Amino acid sequence: MGAVWTIVTKDLQQRLRDKSVLIFSIAVPLALMTVLNLVIPTGADDVELEPVTVAASIDADDELADVVVSSLAGLSVFQVTVADSEDPRAAVDAGDADLGLIIPPGLTEDLRSGTEHSVQMVIGDSAGLSANILIAVTDGLLSEMRARSVSAAAAIEAGLGPEVAAQLAQQEVDAASAITAEAGAASDEQLSAGGALIAGQAGLFLMFTVGFGVLSMVAERESGTLARLRSMPIRPGSIVLAKALGAFVLGVLATSVLLTAGSLLFGVTFGNVGAVGVLVLCAVAAATSLTFIVVRLARTAEQANIVQTILALVLGMSGGAFFPIAASGALGAVLDVNPIAAFTRGLGITAGGGGLSDLTGPVLTLLAFAAVCLLVSRVIPDRGETR
């Protein structure tokens, strides 16, 4: 192992003295993050709920219809203005209202008797998220009213007194309200726009960074230093191992710097440091394993750089390094095994509060990618005759 560490130390010293490595591994991705952050608005993740104007047509003598309208007007999440209208649909078409509410006469009687009652809502073309929220609130309110009324009607029909029927109706409402929604699980959390930008760029340039380390073996093969190394009492596998370790250490350092600097510059938090560290190690292992295929395919350092660049760009773009890509079916399954996508997905989990136990999916994906690349590199012909 002494020879391995000697080669690793020598390679790292050469890479750290090489300004092009520092430029492409640290300076360029940070500059690109800054430019893209200017293109993507800082507040892109913030959703502002706009006020909504509702044109309502109800029977003034209908008690429960009036309750529905009063409840909507009393929402505190965003401003709701309810205006009486004889023709809500025309008001929406004319742009005087964002939402039209039409409650035909007889809502109270129908709910109490358990009869179906149709309520119409018309949404305008320019209505935003607030109007859709209002539709959902109205639907939930009517469902609650219906549940209470049906229970009361059933109790009265069964011969129970009005007070008992009212208690049963209240129990129905209480049971429904006992079903509560909890905050999303860690696996459902997504990175913010800034976080996705940092993660994507870090993953993309990781592909280039590890290439500097392992592809140096191709350059040494061309310059003849690899032959001199082989003439020394060192196992051929130790030379490959040393090159891989050098690339691995370089990738871990560069990715850690990018995530830390990106977090400080753009105010993004990726969560548990230990979990993020494990994710970085697995991502670097996956990226390093890919370079072994490149080394086997390329005859010269120039060919190796071209192949490495093509692979990095393809994986970066399909992995969402520049913009999110949504796909389903077979294409979605293929994109899910992309190491950059898995790395970004894992950071989304940790940013959402997830720990190491929540990273099973991304970690297994990255390790499986590394294993497949290593296997492929062993079975494809070595065009450079490095062995």
Condensed to tens digits (0 to 9), the pLDDT of residues 207-263 reads 888 877 667 777 777 777 777 766 777 676 777 778 788 888 888 998 999 999 888
Q: Could you tell me the CA-to-CA distances from 172 to 159, 160, 176, 217, 340 in Å, in that order?
A: 18, 16, 6, 73, 49
Give the confidence band of 311 by pLDDT, cuts at 50, 70, 90: confident
Name which of 37-46, 100-109, 303-312, 361-370 the model is least confident about. 37-46
Q: Considering the chain, what percentage of its residues have pLDDT values greater than 70?
A: 80
Q: Which of the four pLDDT bands, split at 50, 70 and 90, describes residue 193?
A: confident
Q: Output the pLDDT for position 276.
A: 93
Instruction: Give how far Cα 270 sits from Cα of 7, 189, 334, Å.
Output: 34, 12, 26
Domain ranges of the chain: 1-42+192-379, 52-176
Q: What DSSP element (H or E) covers 323?
A: none
Tell me the mean pLDDT in the region 74-91: 84
Rounded to an integer, the average pLDDT of 135-157 is 74
Q: Above 60 in pLDDT, residue 173?
A: no
Cα–Cα distance measured from residue 294 to residue 100, given in angstroms and rounded to the nearest whole number? 62
Backbone angles phi, psi at 386, to 5 degrees: -80, -15
| Assigned token pair, 115 | 């009869």
> Could you give the percent of the chain with pLDDT greater than 90?
9
Cα 5 from Cα 245, distance rounded (Å):
9
| Mean pLDDT, all residues of the chain | 79
Q: How far apart are CA 161 and CA 140, in angstroms?
A: 28
Q: Structure pTM?
A: 0.63
Annotate 97-132 with b (16+ C-beta within 10 A) or e (fewer).
bbbbbbbeeebbebbbeeeebeeebbbbeebbebbe
| Phi, psi angle pair for 132, to nearest 5° | -65, -35
Mean pLDDT of 5-18: 77
Most confident range (mean pLDDT) of 61-70, 176-185, 321-330 is 61-70
Q: Tell me phi and psi for residue 135, to 5 degrees.
A: -65, -45
Is CATH 1.10.286 correct for 52-176?
no
- Sheet (strand 80-84) strand order: 80-84, 52-57, 99-102, 120-123
**Distance from C-alpha of 269 to C-alpha of 351, rounded to nearest angstrom:** 6
